[in-house]
Amino acid sequence: MEDLKTPSPLTPERKPKKRLLFIILIAVIAAVILVKTTGNIQKVLFKKKPEIAKKAAGITFEEETLPVKVFKVKKTDFKDTLPSIGNIKGFKEIDLKFQVPGIIESINFEEGEKIQEGDIIASLVQKDALLKLKYSEIEMSKNQKLLDIGALSPVKMEQSKIEYESAKSELDKTNIYAMSSGLLGSRLVDVGGFVTPYDKVGVFVDADKVYAEFNIIEKDVPKVALGQKAEVFADAYPNKTFNGVIDRIAPIIEGRSRTENIKVELDNKEGLLKPGMFVRTLIATYEKKDDIVIPSSALKKKENEYLIYVVHKEEPRTEPVVKEKPQQKGSMKNMFDFGAAKKKEETKPEVKEKPAEFGQVETRKVKLGYMTQDLVEVEDGLKEDELIIVEIQEELKDKSRVEIGEVQEGLI
């Protein structure tokens, strides 16, 4: 007789029951999720129309705006200069020549040596001139005695005096005298050489004052006038500025170079500036204090008028902040967003950007004054602290809306 055995818990008879329980559990969880999701969809689909309209009322559509660069107008000291290069010339540069022919007996100064007024710079051989002077002196003395005793007519006596003065003058012509203080600029002959009144012995230079001589091109000629201030710079003295004024302007334009010659008078008591030295200059062609000056890129020419675009800033707009509803703990959304929330907490806070600024354009006529290549003086039509558009790319309409991208303050 066989023994009866009880079935163990892991026998095949129990497996179908466990599977059935697991399937029922999954179905219940799926039903809960479906009910929750369906309820949220219904809330969204069947939300009351007034609420949707209320939310839609807060939505605004921005009109298309052009980004622009603006310049803030400020009063400033306006100064325009004209650059040029040239050379130093002596205030007086005199060619030294003898009035009579002869052989050079002496040259009393070397190049660059200072000369005082009345000094004899050079002399010819004077033997013949001295003999002639001595003879005329003796004749004049003899005739004077004859005149005293009445043996000579006054006319003859006057004639002898003229001959003496002529001989004295001939002797003076064998010397070159300094008419003022200065220096010997150059020496072109040596002792023993024969010269005529056409031969240049050297150059006398008055160095207490000098000229800076420049050539101005034809298009800049209207900017230059007598008495204008000028700053002169020499490479030999990089930290020193020599100030002077325009003293001379040539009345003609040179044919080949098409330039006008000007001279700036400079004081040179210290003797730093040497004739022939290379120099640069800045001529002050225009100066005005507390002037309204704008970049020339802000101008728009229309027929015979000049226009600018003034920007009037708008008040910043305030947009409503939408707050999310706090979610209930243990909700399915919290369950699925757990990883994302954790990631959000780990990220660093973003830096808030400066809100964009907008404005309306006003097209305005202006009256212009002095103009340079980059800057323009506005005599009428613009006030301090107003904003104007620069670097204009296209023509703008009056009252059009623009976005202010960059604000330039101060002239570059």
* 78, 290 Cβ separation under 8 angstroms: no
For residue 53, the 8-state DSSP code is: H
Collapsed DSSP state (helix, strand, coil) of residue 390: strand
- Residue 16's pLDDT is 62
Strands (E), 331-382: 357-365, 367-371, 375-380
Contact between 387 and 310 (Cβ < 8 Å): yes
Domain ranges of the chain: 126-173
Q: What is the pTM of this model?
A: 0.55
Closest CA to 403 of 308, 313, 298: 313
- Determine phi and psi for 270, rounding to 5 degrees: -75, -15
Q: How far apart are CA 80 and CA 296, in angstroms?
A: 14
Give the three-class secondary structure for 156: helix
Q: To which residue do tokens 């000007």 refer?
A: 262
Residues contacting residue 306 through CB under 8 Å, at least 6 positions apart = 299, 300, 365, 366, 368
Token pair of 234 as six digits: 């020499």
Mean pLDDT per 10-residue interval, the chain, length 412 residues: 45 59 74 60 49 49 75 90 91 89 92 88 92 90 85 86 90 90 86 93 86 91 91 92 93 85 90 89 91 90 87 74 50 48 53 76 90 89 90 83 86 66
Rounded to whole angstroms, how far apart are CA atoms 30 and 25? 9
What per-residue string of b and e applies to 137-157 under the rule 16 or more CB within 10 Å gives b?
eebbeebeeebeeeebeeeee
Q: What is the pLDDT of residue 147?
A: 84
Of 205, 218, 248, nearest in space to 230 by CA: 248
pLDDT of residue 201: 92
Number of H helices, E strands in the chain: 6, 20
Going 147 to 150 to 154 to 160, the CA torsion angle's sign is negative
Residue-level pLDDT at 53: 47
Element (H, E) at 22: helix 15-45
Q: Look at residue 26 in the predicted model and tell me its pLDDT.
A: 77
Is residue 161 classed as helix, strand or coil in its secondary structure?
helix
Residue 96 identity (one-letter amino acid):
L
Residue 232: its pLDDT value, please?
95
- Give me 216's structure tokens: 């101005």
**Helix H or strand E encompassing 342:** helix 338-346
Report pLDDT for 157. Answer: 87
In this structure, are residues 401 and 63 in contact, taking their beta carbons and an 8 Å threshold? yes
Cα distances (angstroms) measured from residue 13 to each of 6, 8, 20, 23, 400:
12, 9, 13, 18, 86
pLDDT at residue 30, rounded to an integer: 72
